[in-house]
Chains A and B, each alone.
Chain A
Amino acid sequence: MNFLNLTLLAPLALLGGLAIAIPLYLHLRHKPRAIPLQFGALQFLLKAQKKRKRRFKLEQFFLLLMRCLFVLALALIFAQPFKEMILGADDNIGNKPLVMILDNSASMLANNGADSFWDQAKAQVRAILDKRGNTPTLLLISSQPERLVSMRSADEILAALPGLKVDLRRSSLDRAYQEALNIIQQEGWGSARIHILSDGVISAWDQVPSEPASGVEVVTSTFLDADKFSNFGIERVDQIESAESLDLEVRLINGGGVGTTFNVDIKPEKDSPIQHRVNLESHETVSHRFALPAHSAGPVLVSLQEDNFPIDNQVTFIPGSLQAPRIVIVDGDTNPVAQRSESFFVANALQLQFGKEVLVITPAGLNADLLSKTDVLLMLNVEVPPTEWLADYLQKGKGLFISTGNRFSSEAWNAFLQPFDLQFWEWVNQPELVELKQADHPLLQGVGVSDWEMYLSEFQVFSHQLISLGRSQYKAVFTYSDSAPALVCGDTGPGRIAIWPSAMDLEGSNVPIAVGFIPLMRQIVNYLSFRETKNSVESLLVDDVIAQGLEDKLVLKHVNPDFRNLDVQGILPGVYSTADSQFERMIHVFLDPRESDFKPISSQTAGNEAEAFEKLGFKNQLRIDLGPGLLWLVFAIVCMETLAAGFISLRWGQR
């Protein structure tokens, strides 16, 4: 409800209208103050009064009315009413300096069925500029308020206007508004007008200004017709890590003014489409998780029906690899026996984590063909390494794990490891505890430091082999209490290597039966398979991309065909890849979700009231929430008071 299109900055000041009691009181008190006088010729007075009576009553009534209106006008002035929206306001009246603030955030790409808000706003700016004379005129754009500051005449701005574009980066009007106030203050303009051309969405502001500085008139042109506006948007799509299926989490928003049901279409490239109906109230968000078969990995098109803000209706999502690393365990024991060989414990631990695809073989079973299909090779207590194959294997960017044991030949392995500057020394038959050394190593990521400390407190190694690290890229992630490396990791050019210089069975340590063994093996395999980068699928906002400096490194993979020719600044929402390492990193870019929510400033703040308070400020909140209601209430009170006053006044007059 809007009262005559007026909004009040300080609606509580209307309570001052109750001071209407003062003129009423004075008015009523004034009458009995008449001096009593006994008069003989009263009949002529009465006769005269009959003529005058009507006029007298009217005079009294108007007198009372004027007094009351005076009080109400005062209250209204203190309540600071202003016109919320003056569409097409004539900014040429008077010679006030004019600062226009043009919202060029992504939400301006919305439309009311015809032209976009952006085009409408530019047309309006042009219309104003065409009629502007020599009076100072400025145009600030919300994303870069400083860009056009130097232009102070209508002609200059007109020339620059066609070059202005919508900026897909998140921007609010606050900075431009503050800049406008600063300019007005610096220039010493006693009175000036700020004309804000915006979509009229609450998210256009970080903090909606409640009161302009004195002498500054603020006019707002908004383009959003909230009641008719509909926008179902995809805020973002994320891939949920799952070994068995492709799980996509789709975050949806109903950014329009009407709650309704709409369809979400999910079309995997290699599988049959899914359609899902979603019911959302206005300005409500919801996350839905869709599970697709793992084999359908490939681009997935998530789309919604057409609405007034098309840019968030379609997302092509390219999921990361779902393939579990192919793991081959080579046990040096030619006849591995359950519970007594390393491969028993290691295979069990990995099968729990990576499924059944763990192959256990003896050194004799290893060949070049198998290695080519292997992602992670675990050499457990193997006497002699197949040096050529392994070097080739590592060169292909794969992972190798080595553990020692009683069959392990240091000389043979040192010959293989020599190019990598790693060397085994002597055996130490002394029980040692394992300690955490490199808490920030990528291998340890995903498990908290305190958890590692808890796991390691149970680890005890009965004998181990000393190893030296010749290059700084190798790190001793764990050490023994004498600082000798207990777990060595590092990159060997394209490949990765991890060495546990002790046995993985119960004769060499108690580690295989410790609680931390399974997470340790999982982390080692993840590390060696380059999983943290290989499977990387990231969802970033436009601003995140720019903040991380990725803007120039992104290679466009896919963007919605409708927007390929969109003339905007910033990065279009879509799929990009970066090639900053040997692995491709897939980045999905989304708009800031606030741009999809078209909640008008004047709307009720149903929903998150805390957010509304924070955003609008207390005064604006009061203005929007209580303003109209309070206005009607005060109006009703004043009407009743006036009626009562009139009634009493007439009664007094007749006595």
Chain B
Amino acid sequence: MTQTSATFLDPSVLIGIKNLTVRARTVVEGALVGEHISPFRGGSVEFAQHRAYSPGDELRYVDWRLYARTDHYHVKQFEVTTNLRAYLLLDGSGSMGYPVDGPISKFRYASILAGALAYVLVQQSDATAVAVSKGKEVEFLPPRSQLGYLTQILGVLENHQPQGEQGIPNLIQYALDRVHHRSLIVLFSDFFVDIPELMAKIKILKSRGHDVMVFQILHPDEESFPFNRFYRFESMEDDQYLPADSQAIRQAYLEAFQAHQTQFQQALHQTGIDATLAKTDDPPDRILAKILNNPLRAKKLRRMY
């Protein structure tokens, strides 16, 4: 592992997630047998449960022994574990570069989270893909599960410099165009975009059966707006700027920001996606642990079978 990789795979992060298992919330397709549950009844199976027979079920899955005991037809269901395809989509637009001269920018923080997640997934032999928006282009590494592939993934994350605008919608569109198998799609962004437009794309992802995880990365400045001088606020994505007295505009800013956040959270909630809000001063391992241990996932898994 290279020196640069070590930057992302912070030991404290890795210790925090060492014993965590990434479990898919919904059934995903996979060729390889892994720790993820397959929705298909395959050959190498692990019995899961019985279910009352209904017309159309194949007769070969009828448990005749149970019929003999109960005089009722039941069919056997099996858990088939498959490999997970995970697509880590990182918003690499300009706004993710904030703060420019701070210790850790939003993109870097997102990279840590994504790198840790990739590490965990690759360790489990899950195919992991990474896509980073680069202006209007997208830098994409297709899903692979080799351990050595991790180095490439981390290299892409490390070498990217935030630039351009509208990163996340482009990325989602990119994924929609290319990801045909059901996959875990993890979005890392500040989501400072038009919410209805964004949600339209996310809904399409969901409708295709993808498991969507959302990490909203924010800097504490954006939430509290602690400025108190006359600044010329410059956009990090285009040429727009605004000279303003920060104290005078603070209230209106906070209102606009909160309105956006509320709208975003509500939209995600309605869609059935719970987002994780990560601020750059939060410990990344806690964030990872929190999302991976979310009890909702187990519950949803159980409901599927």
Q: Which residues of A contact B (CB under 8 A)?
A: 31, 33-49, 51-52, 56, 653, 655
Pick from A33, A35, A45, A51: contact of B242, CB under 8 Å: A45
Q: Indicate if B277 sits at the interface (CB-CB under 8 A).
A: no
Contact flag A45-B233 (CB < 8 Å), given A38-B98, A39-B98, A40-B106: yes
How many angstroms between the C-alpha atoms of A46 and B98 in the bound complex?
A: 17
Q: Indicate if B204 sits at the interface (CB-CB under 8 A).
A: no
How many angstroms between the C-alpha atoms of A37 and B234 in the bound complex?
A: 6
How many angstroms between the C-alpha atoms of A44 and B230 in the bound complex?
A: 17
Contact with A along B75-99 (1 / 0, CB 8 A): 0000000000000000000111111
How many angstroms between the C-alpha atoms of A460 and B83 in the bound complex?
A: 163
Q: Indicate if B236 sits at the interface (CB-CB under 8 A).
A: yes
- Contact assessment for B248 and A34 in the assembled complex, using a CB-CB cutoff below 8 Å: no
Q: Indicate if B249 sits at the interface (CB-CB under 8 A).
A: yes
Contact flag A41-B257 (CB < 8 Å), given A33-B230, A34-B231: yes
- Contact assessment for A48 and B243 in the assembled complex, using a CB-CB cutoff below 8 Å: no
CB neighbours (8 Å) of B222 from chain A are 40-41
CB neighbours (8 Å) of B230 from chain A are 33-35
Q: Indicate if B229 sits at the interface (CB-CB under 8 A).
A: yes
Pick from B96, B235, B260: contact of A42, CB under 8 Å: B235
CB neighbours (8 Å) of B232 from chain A are 34-37
Interface centre among A35, A48, A52, A56 (most CB of B within 10 A): A48
What are 10 A-B contacts with C-beta separation under 8 Å?
A: A34-B231, A34-B232, A34-B243, A35-B230, A38-B99, A40-B192, A44-B260, A45-B242, A48-B249, A56-B244
- Contact assessment for A40 and B190 in the assembled complex, using a CB-CB cutoff below 8 Å: yes
Q: A40-B96, A49-B249 are in contact. List 16 more A-B contacts (CB 8 A).
A: A31-B243, A34-B231, A38-B99, A38-B236, A40-B190, A41-B192, A41-B257, A42-B95, A42-B234, A42-B236, A42-B242, A44-B256, A45-B244, A48-B253, A49-B242, A653-B243
Return B252 CB to nearest CB of chain A, in Å: 3
How many angstroms between the C-alpha atoms of A41 and B261 in the bound complex?
A: 12
CB neighbours (8 Å) of B242 from chain A are 42, 45-46, 49
Q: Indicate if B74 sits at the interface (CB-CB under 8 A).
A: no
How many angstroms between the C-alpha atoms of A52 and B249 in the bound complex?
A: 7
Pick from A38, A42, A56: contact of B248, CB under 8 Å: A56
Closest to A49 in B: B242
CB neighbours (8 Å) of A45 from chain B are 233, 242, 244, 249, 253, 256
How many angstroms between the C-alpha atoms of A36 and B260 in the bound complex?
A: 25
Return A63 CB to nearest CB of chain B, in Å: 12
Contact with A along B221-247 (1 / 0, CB 8 A): 110000101111111100011111000
Pick from B96, B235, B236, B255: contact of A48, CB under 8 Å: B255
CB neighbours (8 Å) of A36 from chain B are 231-232, 234
Q: Indicate if B45 sits at the interface (CB-CB under 8 A).
A: no
How many angstroms between the C-alpha atoms of A31 and B241 in the bound complex?
A: 13
**Chain B residues numbered 249-298 whose CB sits less than 8 Å from any CB in chain A:** 249, 252-253, 255-257, 260
How many angstroms between the C-alpha atoms of A653 and B245 in the bound complex?
A: 12
- Contact assessment for A42 and B240 in the assembled complex, using a CB-CB cutoff below 8 Å: yes
Return B119 CB to nearest CB of chain A, in Å: 27
CB neighbours (8 Å) of B231 from chain A are 34-37, 39
CB neighbours (8 Å) of A48 from chain B are 249, 252-253, 255-256
Return A264 CB to nearest CB of chain B, in Å: 79
Contact flag A39-B236 (CB < 8 Å), given A34-B243, A45-B249, A52-B249: yes
Return A650 CB to nearest CB of chain B, in Å: 13
- Contact assessment for A40 and B98 in the assembled complex, using a CB-CB cutoff below 8 Å: yes
Q: Indicate if B182 sits at the interface (CB-CB under 8 A).
A: no
Return A582 CB to nearest CB of chain B, in Å: 103
- Contact assessment for B248 and A39 in the assembled complex, using a CB-CB cutoff below 8 Å: no
Q: Indicate if B100 sits at the interface (CB-CB under 8 A).
A: yes
- Contact assessment for B233 and A39 in the assembled complex, using a CB-CB cutoff below 8 Å: yes
How many angstroms between the C-alpha atoms of A38 and B236 in the bound complex?
A: 6
CB neighbours (8 Å) of A34 from chain B are 230-232, 243-244
CB neighbours (8 Å) of B210 from chain A are none
Q: Which residues of B contact A (CB under 8 A)?
A: 94-100, 106, 190, 192, 219, 221-222, 227, 229-236, 240-244, 248-249, 252-253, 255-257, 260
CB neighbours (8 Å) of A40 from chain B are 94-98, 106, 190, 192, 219, 222, 236
How many angstroms between the C-alpha atoms of A539 and B100 in the bound complex?
A: 102
Closest to A52 in B: B252
- Contact assessment for A41 and B95 in the assembled complex, using a CB-CB cutoff below 8 Å: yes
Closest to A51 in B: B252
- Contact assessment for B256 and A37 in the assembled complex, using a CB-CB cutoff below 8 Å: no
Closest to A30 in B: B230
How many angstroms between the C-alpha atoms of A42 and B93 in the bound complex?
A: 14
CB neighbours (8 Å) of B190 from chain A are 40-41
Return B124 CB to nearest CB of chain A, in Å: 34
Return B85 CB to nearest CB of chain A, in Å: 31
CB neighbours (8 Å) of B241 from chain A are 42, 655
How many angstroms between the C-alpha atoms of A534 and B97 in the bound complex?
A: 120
How many angstroms between the C-alpha atoms of A48 and B244 in the bound complex?
A: 11
Return B69 CB to nearest CB of chain A, in Å: 65
Closest to A47 in B: B256
Return B216 CB to nearest CB of chain A, in Å: 12
- Contact assessment for B233 and A42 in the assembled complex, using a CB-CB cutoff below 8 Å: yes
How many angstroms between the C-alpha atoms of A35 and B192 in the bound complex?
A: 23
CB neighbours (8 Å) of B95 from chain A are 40-42
CB neighbours (8 Å) of A46 from chain B are 240, 242
Closest to B219 in A: A40
Interface centre among A39, A42, A45 (most CB of B within 10 A): A39
How many angstroms between the C-alpha atoms of A67 and B256 in the bound complex?
A: 33
How many angstroms between the C-alpha atoms of A558 and B213 in the bound complex?
A: 124
Pick from A37, A52, A655: contact of B233, CB under 8 Å: A37
Return B196 CB to nearest CB of chain A, in Å: 15
CB neighbours (8 Å) of A31 from chain B are 243
CB neighbours (8 Å) of B106 from chain A are 40
Return B10 CB to nearest CB of chain A, in Å: 23
How many angstroms between the C-alpha atoms of A49 and B249 in the bound complex?
A: 7
Return A653 CB to nearest CB of chain B, in Å: 8
Closest to A48 in B: B252
How many angstroms between the C-alpha atoms of A484 and B257 in the bound complex?
A: 130
CB neighbours (8 Å) of A56 from chain B are 244, 248
CB neighbours (8 Å) of A51 from chain B are 252
Contact flag A44-B257 (CB < 8 Å), given A34-B232, A34-B243, A36-B231: yes
Return B254 CB to nearest CB of chain A, in Å: 8
How many angstroms between the C-alpha atoms of A60 and B230 in the bound complex?
A: 14
How many angstroms between the C-alpha atoms of A46 and B243 in the bound complex?
A: 10
Return A47 CB to nearest CB of chain B, in Å: 4
- Contact assessment for B256 and A38 in the assembled complex, using a CB-CB cutoff below 8 Å: no
CB neighbours (8 Å) of A52 from chain B are 248-249, 252
How many angstroms between the C-alpha atoms of A51 and B260 in the bound complex?
A: 16
How many angstroms between the C-alpha atoms of A39 and B221 in the bound complex?
A: 9
CB neighbours (8 Å) of A47 from chain B are 252, 256
CB neighbours (8 Å) of B249 from chain A are 45, 48-49, 52
CB neighbours (8 Å) of A655 from chain B are 241, 243
Return A265 CB to nearest CB of chain B, in Å: 83
CB neighbours (8 Å) of B240 from chain A are 42, 46
How many angstroms between the C-alpha atoms of A34 and B227 in the bound complex?
A: 13
- Contact assessment for B236 and A35 in the assembled complex, using a CB-CB cutoff below 8 Å: no
Closest to A33 in B: B230
Closest to A35 in B: B231
Return B162 CB to nearest CB of chain A, in Å: 9
Closest to A37 in B: B231
Return A64 CB to nearest CB of chain B, in Å: 15
CB neighbours (8 Å) of A38 from chain B are 97-100, 234-236
- Contact assessment for B234 and A49 in the assembled complex, using a CB-CB cutoff below 8 Å: no
Closest to B261 in A: A44
Closest to A42 in B: B235
Pick from A35, A39, A49: contact of B229, CB under 8 Å: A35
Across the A-B interface, the 4 shortest Cβ-Cβ residue pairs: A48-B252, A40-B98, A40-B95, A34-B232
Return B246 CB to nearest CB of chain A, in Å: 9
Closest to B100 in A: A38
CB neighbours (8 Å) of A41 from chain B are 95, 98, 190, 192, 222, 253, 257
